[in-house]
Structure 1
Amino acid sequence: MTVPRKAIVESFLFLCPIFGYKIYMKKGRPIITFAVLAAFFVLSQFYRVSSAVIAPSLVAELGLDAKKLGLLGGSFFYSFAILQIPMGFFLDRAGPRLTMSFLPAIGALGAFVFSYANEFESLLLGRVLLGIGMAGALMGSLKVFAISYPRERFATLSGLLMSSGTLGNIIGSSPLAYLSSSIGWRRTFQVFGAFTLLLSFLLWFVLRPTEDKMSKNGIFQIKTKETLLLVFKSLSFWQIGTLAFFRYGTFVAMQGLWFGPYLISIKGFSPLLAGNIIMMLSFGIIIGSTIAGYLTDKVLKCAKRAVLMGVSLYALFILLFVGIVDIRSTLLFYFVFLLLGLFSSFGVLVYPHVKTLFPGEISATVMSGVNFFTMAGGAFFMQVMGNVIHLFKAPDGSYPAHAYHFAFLFCFLGLSASLLFYSFSKTGKEYGD
């Protein structure tokens, strides 16, 4: 009895999607999952810096002053930071799938509220919602890496994630300015809001339910009180958190705000040229994050050594802006900013470092605790550097070069002290080994 050709074709067409899906589940899923997680982190980085580019439009259209602009920029960091500790508990207990697919929907709502705002309060609410919506981008991704990928790849994956996320900083500069001038800042944020909502569905699709796996690892055997005591009684946790506070706080304050007026007002660069120089920080992070992860996994075999090496060099490069030397060459500025971003990126390795000091089942709680310090540092230094610079305000309302020099010196001293404190932390092997 011969089988009809039509039946063979129909069977083939029926089985192809099944086999294709099985191949995807076995081979392609880790790659697709990483790509979607990276897209989430790109959005988070974009929303962090987006208010700077559209600030002139906000001032012109809604009459915002400098004080309100500062609060608007910092509100994202404050809501993001406050949510980190409960975020860790939720990731450890509910799992990344539910947490990470729900939060971008809140972020999308924030983007739409921001785009339709006609007064400062609505703008502020939109930024707060954006901070909440993006709060799980990094910690959720690290949690997925910790439970779904080989542990020896954790530092490499972390570095690749940070490298890809830096694209958000780039998109939030010249491309955002171009889009805003073409279709307006309101329509631009509506487009990004729609993409954020789409990402919510993609995260639900690509992430697997992890409750069973976490249960087998003992996640529900550790109570909240015991978890807090285990984390907060550790001196190494505070040493790592302190370095994260000063490393990221100084960097994002300089990149996101104070390098701009310094290059324009003090060094005499045009806004376009200043923006191009500052963009080199992002390219440095892209290169440095990948190098840092590789060095940790393949060469140094220790995250702490890589952090101390890279962040120490980052601190030394800050000294170039305290008035000791006078850089005049535009090409040299490009080179210095590239290396500044490269060495600063080694600071992301505090996450694989702290992960080795605690049980894996509370990894999200621990890393979220460190990320609280990270984001709080961003909010703190944005304002404090401004206060330091304001101390030297001239009668004509301008700020002299030494005002910026003292602000950068404040960054160097704080970062140096945190490096010294961090150097006494435990090196750490994989917990339980």
Structure 2
Amino acid sequence: MFLPFAAGYYLSYLFRTINTLLAERLTSALGLGAADIGLLTSIYFLIVLVVQIPIGMCLDHFGPRRVQSALLGVAAAGAALFSLSSGVLSLLVGRAMIGLGTAAALMSGLKIIVLWFPRERMALLNGLMIMLGSLGAVTATAPAEVVLEWIGWRGLFEALAAVTALAAVLIYLVVPERSAASLPHARFATLRTIYSDARFWRIAPLSATCIGSAWALQSLWAAPWLSDVERLDRTKLVDELFTMAVALSVSALFLGLLANGVRGRSKATEVLFAFVAVLLIGAELVLILHPPWPSLLPWSAVSVAASATALTYAIIGDYFPIALVARANGALNVLQFGWAFIVQYGTGLILEQWPLDAGHYPLIAYQTAFGANVSLQLAALLWFAVPWLEGLTGKTRALLVGEGSGLWILDDVIVPPAELVILEMGEGGEW
């Protein structure tokens, strides 16, 4: 049950990040610019975000086995078309089909975990699923470079088409079926439940701006940055991308273990996620300031943030009943993939505002693009922290009133305790 879906997610991660290595070859072979590369890569995220909610509903209704096997067949056809393409339009169509075909890869794996495994182990298994899938990002570095040197990018995508078709057949024939219709709360599972939940809208902006940005940077703009700013040669560049991918894979399992360990402790998983967000923002600020030391550490921190879905999906799993988990994760993925699309394509548009210098974009171009992104992440982090800040403010005010004064704070008004006993039953419930 678990490993076939992990294989599907592995392929989706490989497809998502392979353009980091392909960008230079496609530019050389087909004369593509930065905006073309940004659009070609980000169309994957655009398609995925558009279909997330419908796919989540299909997973809840038809089950992950049938949905995932059918979609991986589409991805295999898209990879075959990509291998035959000779222009931007056919590349875009092939890439869009790959995006559609792998759009359910993670959600279907998470749905399998919900259907077949104990709820108290969801965070750990989510981390394990993401860790195994993110090995696709590892494969998309040094191992893929060897294959590219051997059979070229067209041959690589022909091979990926065959492997993806095999995975589709494997999932359909091997994985057992189990319906979610009998799960608790299934009759009341609606999208309105998700979109009217204040907790969802507190975590969603931070999850989108941080995880979406980390996906966008690692899967495309890390390589151009290392080439343009650090001026690394191809071998050192691929080695650094390999290290980043390993950091992504290891941190996914580590964060899953942490989330599993703190499960049941109030807000502990949310605190872990906020810490990862701060780590990402700090890493991006280091890249923007560009001090005179190697950039591997901040780029590895970006990879850690890309694996934070192990935390956010565990948080979402605690917010909603089992019958809504797939759709809730899909609703969150819409925002994460949407932001990844904006960052990938938007960064290319910003870079093209500066002229090339010996084939490289200047540091100021990357500083401008990354700086705009960080400012929005800071705003999302502040929004996420508002309840904690309000709690801290309330405690501070209580201390200022004084422990021996006999006064209480109720709805921002200081009142003596004797007046609290006259609260009516309805007011007492609100209190």
Tell me by how many angstroms 1:83 deviates.
0.7
Q: Aligned pair count?
A: 385
Equivalences for 1:274-353 in 2 at 5 Å?
274-299=237-262, 301=265, 302-323=268-289, 326-328=291-293, 330=294, 333-353=295-315
Q: Deviations over 1:364-385 (max 9, x none)?
A: 1111110111111111101222
**One-letter amino acid matched to 2:250:** I
Aligned counterparts of 2:370 and 2:88: Cα–Cα separation in 1:
31
Which stretch of the first structure deviates more once superposed, 194-203 or 67-76?
A: 67-76
1:161 to 2:161 alignment: no
Match 1:377 to one of 334, 339, 352: 339
Which stretch of the first structure deviates more once superposed, 84-93 or 286-295?
A: 286-295
In structure 2, the residue corresponding to 1:111 is in which secondary structure? helix
Equivalences for 1:355-374 in 2 at 5 Å?
355-374=317-336
Tell me by how many angstroms 1:263 deviates.
2.4
1:73 to 2:41 alignment: yes
Aligned counterparts of 1:118 and 1:406: Cα–Cα separation in 2:
33
In structure 2, the residue corresponding to 1:118 is in which secondary structure? coil
Residue 383 of structure 2 corresponds to 421
In structure 2, the residue corresponding to 1:386 is in which secondary structure? helix
Match 1:135 to one of 89, 103, 123: 103
**One-letter amino acid matched to 2:243:** M
Residue 409 of structure 2 corresponds to none
In structure 1, the residue corresponding to 2:18 is in which secondary structure? helix
Aligned counterparts of 2:356 and 2:252: Cα–Cα separation in 1:
40
- Contact 1:236-1:425 within 8 A present in 2 as well: no
**One-letter amino acid matched to 2:205:** T
Which stretch of the first structure deviates more once superposed, 146-155 or 175-184?
A: 175-184
1:112 to 2:80 alignment: yes
- Contact 2:69-2:171 within 8 A present in 1 as well: yes
- Structure 1 residues 183 and 337: CA distance shift in structure 2, 3 A: same
- Contact 2:251-2:304 within 8 A present in 1 as well: yes
Q: Deviations over 1:38-67 (max 9, x none)?
A: 111110011112233233443444444444
- Contact 1:96-1:207 within 8 A present in 2 as well: no
Tell me by how many angstroms 1:391 deviates.
4.2
Tell me by how many angstroms 1:207 deviates.
2.4
1:412 to 2:357 alignment: no
Task: Name stretches of at least 5 consecutive residues in structure 1 with no aligned partner.
Answer: 1-32, 427-433
- Structure 1 residues 304 and 82: CA distance shift in structure 2, 3 A: same
1:217 to 2:183 alignment: yes
- Contact 2:206-2:377 within 8 A present in 1 as well: yes
- Contact 2:64-2:111 within 8 A present in 1 as well: yes
**One-letter amino acid matched to 1:342:** V
Task: Name stretches of at least 5 consecutive residues in structure 2 with no aligned partner.
Answer: 389-431
Tell me by how many angstroms 1:267 deviates.
2.5
Aligned counterparts of 2:33 and 2:4: Cα–Cα separation in 1:
37
**One-letter amino acid matched to 2:211:** Y
Match 1:152 to one of 115, 120, 133: 120
1:249 to 2:249 alignment: no
- Contact 1:93-1:220 within 8 A present in 2 as well: no
- Contact 2:202-2:384 within 8 A present in 1 as well: yes
Query: TM-score scaled by structure 2?
Result: 0.83
Percent identity among equivalent residues?
Answer: 27
Aligned counterparts of 1:154 and 1:288: Cα–Cα separation in 2:
17
Aligned counterparts of 1:80 and 1:151: Cα–Cα separation in 2:
27
Q: Deviations over 1:286-331 (max 9, x none)?
A: 22111211111113644212211222222222221121x6132x4x
**One-letter amino acid matched to 1:117:** S
Tell me by how many angstroms 1:221 deviates.
1.9
Aligned counterparts of 1:234 and 1:127: Cα–Cα separation in 2:
34
Following TM superposition, the consecutive aligned residue runs of length 4 or more in structure 1 with deviations greater than 6 angstroms are: 394-397
Equivalences for 1:8-87 in 2 at 5 Å?
33-87=1-55
- Structure 1 residues 266 and 55: CA distance shift in structure 2, 3 A: closer
**One-letter amino acid matched to 1:84:** Q
Aligned counterparts of 2:352 and 2:222: Cα–Cα separation in 1:
15
Tell me by how many angstroms 1:128 deviates.
0.9
Aligned counterparts of 1:401 and 1:65: Cα–Cα separation in 2:
18
Tell me by how many angstroms 1:396 deviates.
8.3
Alignment RMSD: 2.4
- Contact 1:310-1:347 within 8 A present in 2 as well: no
Which stretch of the first structure deviates more once superposed, 234-243 or 373-382?
A: 234-243
Tell me by how many angstroms 1:104 deviates.
0.6
